[in-house]
Amino acid sequence: MDLVIRDTCVIDGTGGPSYRADVGIRNGRIAAIRREGDPALSGTRTLDASGLALSPGFIDMHAHSDLALLRDPAHEAKAAQGVTLEVLGQDGLSYAPVDDRTLEGVRQAINGWNGGGPGDDSVAFDWRTVGEYLDRLDQGIAVNAAYLIPQGTVRMYAVGWDDRPATATELTRMKQLVAEGLEQGAVGMSSGLTYTPGMYAPDAELTELCRVLAPYDGYYCPHHRSYGAGALQAYEDMVQVTREAGCALHLAHATMNFGVNKGRAADLLALLDRAIDRGADISLDTYPYTPGSTTLVAVLPSWASEGGPEATLARLRDEAVAERIRHHLEVIGSDGCHGVPMEWETIEISGVVDPELDAHIGSTIEESARSRGESPWTTARRLLIEDRLGSTILQHVGHEENVRAIMRHRVHTGGSDGILQGSKPHPRAFGTFPHYLGRYARELGVLSLEETVAHLTSRPAARLRLPDRGLVREGYRADLVMFDPETVAAGSTFDAPRALPFGIPHVLIDGRWVIRDGVRTDVLAGRSVRRTLGRNQM
How confident is the model at residue 78, as a pLDDT? 98
**Distant-in-sequence, close-in-space partners of 412: CB < 8 Å, separation ≥ 6:** 283, 284, 285, 286, 406, 455, 459
| Nearest CA among 245, 253, 313 for reference residue 281 | 245
Our CA dihedral for 67, 68, 69, 75, rounded to 10 degrees, sits at 180
Residue 463 has pLDDT above 50, yes or no: yes
pLDDT in tens, 95-110: 999 999 999 999 999 9
Q: How confident is the model at residue 532 (pLDDT cuts 50, 70, 90)?
A: low
Displacement of CA 398 from its chain's centroid (Å) = 17
Give the DSSP letter string of 438-482: IIIIIIT-SS-HHHHHHHHTHHHHHHTT-TT-SS--TTSB--EEE
Q: What is the Cα–Cα distance from 472 to 326, expressed in whole angstroms?
A: 53
Each residue's pLDDT tens digit, 486-495 = 999 999 999 9
In this structure, the number of other CB atoms found within 10 A of the CB of residue 233 comes to 12
**pLDDT at position 535:** 44
User: The dihedral of CA 369, 389, 386, 75: what is its sign?
Assistant: positive
User: How many Cβ atoms from other residues are within 10 Å of residue 469's Cβ?
Assistant: 25
pLDDT of residue 536: 46
pLDDT digits (tens, 9 = 90+) for 118-147: 889 999 999 999 999 999 999 999 999 999
Q: How confident is the model at residue 351 (pLDDT cuts 50, 70, 90)?
A: very high
The percentage of the chain sitting over the pLDDT mark of 90, rounded to a whole number, equals: 96
List the beta strands (DSSP E) in 377-443.
Answer: 392-395, 412-414
CB 502 within 8 A of CB 487: yes
pLDDT tens profile 234-289: 999 999 999 999 999 999 999 999 999 999 999 999 999 999 999 999 999 999 99
Predicted confidence (pLDDT) at residue 36 exceeds the cutoff of 90: no
Distance CA 122, CA 136 (A): 15
Instruction: Tell me what pLDDT residue 533 has.
Output: 53
Kindly state the greatest CA–CA separation across the chain.
79
Strands 282-286 and 248-251: parallel
Neighbours of 331 (CB within 10 A): 10
Residue from 136, 129, 413 nearest 248 by CA: 413
Closest among 287, 64, 89, 69 to 188, alpha carbons compared: 89
* Nearest one of 481, 536, 473 to 504, comparing CA atoms: 481
What's the whole-number average pLDDT of the chain? Answer: 96
* CA–CA distance, 346 with 366 (Å, rounded to integer): 8
Question: Between β-strands 188-192 and 144-150, what pairing exists: parallel, antiparallel or unpaired?
Answer: parallel
Pairing of the two strands 53-56 and 480-483: antiparallel
Residues pairing with 148 in the sheet: 188
First-to-last alpha carbon distance for the chain, in angstroms, is: 23
3-state secondary structure of 35: strand
Q: What is the pLDDT of residues 150-175, one digit of tens each?
A: 999 999 999 999 999 999 999 999 99
pLDDT at residue 537 greater than cutoff 80: no
Summarize pLDDT for 275-331 with one digit per residue, the tens. Answer: 999 999 999 999 999 999 999 999 999 999 999 999 999 999 999 999 999 999 999
pLDDT band at 57 (very low <50, low <70, confident <90, very high): very high
Can you give the pLDDT at residue 37? Answer: 85
Radius of gyration of the chain (CA): 22
Query: Which residues, 6 or more positions from 252, have their beta carbon under 8 angstroms from its beta carbon?
Result: 62, 90, 91, 190, 221, 222, 223, 224, 284, 285, 415, 417
Q: What's the rounded mean pLDDT across residues 455-481?
A: 97
How far, CA to CA in Å, does 486 sit from each of 2, 404, 439? 29, 21, 11
Give the count of alpha carbons within 13 A of 132, CB side only. Answer: 11
Write down the pLDDT at residue 422.
86
Mean pLDDT value of segment 6-15: 98
State the Cα–Cα distance between residues 242 and 454, nearest whole angstrom: 25
pLDDT tens sequence across 169-191: 999 999 999 999 999 999 999 99
Query: Taking residues 338-364, what's their average pLDDT?
Result: 94
Q: What is the pLDDT of residue 119?
A: 86
Q: What is the rounded CA–CA span in Å between residue 275 and residue 194?
A: 24
- Sign of the C-alpha dihedral, residues 500, 503, 508, 509? negative
What string of DSSP letters covers 243-302?
A: HHHT-EEEETT----SGGGTT-HHHHHHHHHHHHHTT--EEEEE-SSS-EEEEGGGGS-G
Q: How many angstroms separate the Cα of 516 from the Cα of each of 13, 473, 484? A: 22, 22, 14
93: nearest Cα among 108, 78, 83, 72: 108
